[in-house]
Amino acid sequence: MNKKFSTLAIAAFCLASCHCDDDTPTTSQYITVATSIGQMTRTTTDADGNQEFAKDDQISIYAWTGNATAVPADLLVNNSINTYDGAKWTASPQMLWKDMVTPYYFLGIYPNRAVTDFTADPYVLDVTNQEKSDILVAVNTGNDGAGLTATANPVGLMFNHVMAKLVVNLQFRNQWGGTPEVESVIAVMRSTANINYVTDKGTIVTANNEANTVNVTLPETAENTNYTTIAVPQSAFRTINIVIDGKNYTFTHTEDIALESGKYTTVNLIVGRNEITLGSVSINNWQEGTNISGGEAQTDN
């Protein structure tokens, strides 16, 4: 996925350090955190419509040496929880530089997340907690994976959405005589995955076996018309069930609908009393994207 600075959170982590030689000026041995937030899909929005971290938000920081894509058991920074007080970040436990010359590799995760397997971190979608399910990841391994030393201040971390998002919009034909009461909108999809944070191509989320599809009830974001959920990235998604007045309406696309890491897919459905017609399907990053159209669905008899 191409990184777009206008749509991703950029966190500048200011790393202060010390040196043991008596003739070398010592500043601070601590790694401190200062952040500036660009536009990002989050639940907290300021008066100007900009997305931002909220007070008491927490991020996990990991750092190691050796190899950018091989995290050792002995981490130099192991899940230091950085908490935002509205102005600055405070780390617990405190983060320290080993020395001035050792190359470090950095990983940041929002919301805070304890990780023990950095190549296969188990993930389970929790539709009742959308913010927790929307994982953002930042990795900085320096130029060409050479790492960053304590002199490379500040260390920049760009956070990317690694999950997908599904948006379902409903329109209703005139035969309904208005907007009916929708009982539920359910997507048949995979909801578990493994996250590899340290590939040479960036963070990769791999959905578990296609046979493990489940019914995911989408949270309602606008009464009877709009339903949205974070989703595991996957390529074999096709089916949406809508329940109105106890009657099940099933939409199955003729082709797979891609749910892509860092993007949201919008499915626009026109609901009649006897069938659902697909208006359009669009796959977007947080700002723009392409369109896919075609397909329809029938009600269950």
- Least Cα distance to 60 among 16, 93, 98 occurs for 93
Instruction: For domain 164-298, give its CATH number from 3.40.50.720, 2.60.40.2630, 3.10.20.30, 3.10.450.710.
Output: 2.60.40.2630
Other Cβ atoms within 10 Å of 116 Cβ, number: 11
pLDDT tier at 38 (50, 70, 90 boundaries)? very low
Q: Pick the closest to residue 251 from 236, 271, 232 (CA basis).
A: 271
pLDDT digits (tens, 9 = 90+) for 9-20: 334 444 433 333
Domain 5-161: CATH architecture, name and number where available: Sandwich (2.60)
Give the mean model confidence (pLDDT) for residues 56-65: 93
Amino acid identity for residue 169 in this structure: N
- The pLDDT score that the predictor gives to residue 129 is 95
pLDDT for res 184: 98
The answer to whether 140 touches 155, Cβ cutoff 8 Å, is yes
Where along the chain do its domains lie? Answer: 5-161, 164-298
pLDDT of residue 224: 97
The tens digit of pLDDT for each residue in 180-223 reads 999 999 999 999 999 999 999 999 999 998 778 999 999 999 99
Transcribe 210-239 into DSSP letters.
GGGEEEEEPPEEETTTEEEEEE--EEEEEE
Q: What is the mean pLDDT of the chain?
A: 80
Least confident of 150-154, 225-229, 288-292: 288-292
Q: Among all chains, which residue has been given the structure tokens 């600055």? A: 88
- The single residue listed with the structure tokens 């082709």 is 255
Percentage of residues in the chain having pLDDT higher than 90: 54
Quick one: pLDDT at residue 97? 84
Is there a common fold for 5-161 and 164-298?
yes
**Would you place residue 105 in the very low, low, confident or very high pLDDT band (cuts 50, 70, 90)?**
very high
Between 294 and 100, where is the model more confident? 100
Q: What are the pLDDT digits (tens) for 118-169?
A: 999 999 999 999 989 999 898 999 999 999 988 877 777 788 889 999 999 9
Residue 175, sorted as left (phi over 0), alpha (psi -120 to 50) or beta, turns out to be: alpha
Contacts of 57 (CB under 8 A, 6+ apart): 83, 84, 110, 111
- Residue-level pLDDT at 156: 78
What tokens were used for 224?
Answer: 């009877």
Which phi and psi angles does 49 have, rounded to 5°?
85, 10
